Structure 1
C-alpha cells in the first residue's frame, strides 16, 4: 500500500506536466520499485534517475513519460527499445502496446539479465530482452512501428530509421555530453523535430560511441 500511494503521488505530479492519460495509466500499472535495487526502493517513486548497477541509471519518471508520449504507442504495435537498462521503460511501453510486443536491446549482459528478472517479477510477458549492440538496431524483427532510444547517440542513426515502418516514429537523444531529444517520423523521408535538451548515458556500439 505504501508503494501504491507513492506511485499515485508520482502520477499526479506527472499529470501537471500535461502527460497523456494513457501514458499515466501505463505508468500507474508498472511497479517501478521492482526495477531498481532493493536498496533504492525508498526512492523508487521520486522523479529523478536512480543507480541500477553497472555504472548505469534508470531514467527519471518524467523522462519516460515524455518519451512514451512522443512515441504514441498503441495497442498491437511492435516496438524496439535501445538501452533496456533495468527494463522499466520497456515495461511501460509494453503496457501501451497491449497485444503488441516490445523488443529491448541491452549491450551489458548482466544488466540484460537483471531486466529479464525484473520484468518476470512484474508479470510482464510481452517484452523480449536481447543482449547485443543496440546501435545496429535489431534487424531480425524489423520493421517496427516505434523505436525508443534510451541512451545518447552521435546522430540520428540510419541503422534505426531503416528499421522503421512507413509512418513509424523514433525518439532519440543526440549528442555526446548534453543532448537534444528528437522525434523522427518516417513520412516521405524523415521528419525531424527537436523536443528539448536532455542528458543520457552514451550509446556504446559500432554506430554509437566507443566504450
Structure 2
C-alpha cells in the first residue's frame, strides 16, 4: 500500500483515539514521511526499540500527545531535547519551519542518524547537535517552545533559563510514575495525564560510554553529607582494616 495512504490511516486512527488532536499537529503528521525515520512498520501505532542504542522510538500516539501539549505556533523557535531519530523534530518543522527547529541528543550516533534522516526527508534546515540535554542549546536561545523527550524530577534550570518570555516547556515529570506537564514561568501550568519515558541522561550514561559519570548526577546529593554524617558515602571506600 502507498505510504501516503498508510500515513493518512495512521493519523485518522490518532484523531479517533485521542480526546483531541490539534489540526496543526494532524496536518503536520500527515505531511512527514515517517518511513524515512522508522524502517520497522513505520505507520503502526506502537513504539519500537532502536536497533543500535538503548533508545525507544516513540509511538505516533505519544508524539501526538507531546506536540498537542507543546502547542507550537508558526515561526516559533523550538528546541527538542532528545532528538532520537529526528521524527518529532520533523513534525514540528512542518508547523514552524525547519530553520526554526533545534534538537540535541547525548548519543552521537543518533545525532548523525537524525541529521541524515531529516536531510533525506526534506528537513535539512533542522539543526541537530550532540549535547547534554539538561544544558540545552544556549547559543540559539531563547526558545518559544522546549520539548524534553525524557523524564526528570523537575525541569532542568538551564532549560528554563533558555525559554523566551511567555515560553512553554513540555516534559514527562517524575520518576517511576510520570505525568506529562507544560511549564510556564517556572511553574506547572497544565497536566496531560500519565506516560512513561526513560530518564534524562548526563554525559557518561549514554549507550557506548565506558564509565558512568557519577560526579555530575550524584555528587550534588552527597555534598551535604560530609565526614560527620553517620552513613557518609565516603565511608564506603575507606580501608578501615589498616587503622587502629
Q: Same fold (TM over 0.5)?
A: yes
Q: Give the TM-score normalised by the residue count of structure 2.
A: 0.78
Structure 1 gaps of 5+ residues are: none
Aligned counterparts, 1:54-133, within 5 A: 54-98=53-97, 101-133=100-132
Is 2:7 aligned against 1:3?
no
Structure 2 gaps of 5+ residues are: 204-214, 219-244
The match for 1:48 is 46
Aligned counterparts, 1:108-187, within 5 A: 108-186=107-185
Q: Deviations over 1:92-150 (max 9, x none)?
A: 01111127511100000001100000001101133100101011111111110000001
Q: Give the TM-score normalised by the residue count of structure 1.
A: 0.90
SS of the residue 1:77 aligns to: coil
Q: Check whether the contact 2:134–2:200 (CA below 8 A) recurs between aligned residues.
A: yes
The match for 1:204 is 201
For CA contacts below 8 A with separation 6 or more, give which structure has more relative contact order. 1
Which stretch shifts more, 128-137 or 193-202? 193-202
- Aligned pair count reads 204
- The Cα RMSD (Å) is 1.9
SS of the residue 2:111 aligns to: helix
Larger of the two Rg values belongs to structure:
2
Q: Deviations over 1:68-99 (max 9, x none)?
A: 11212111111001000000001001111127
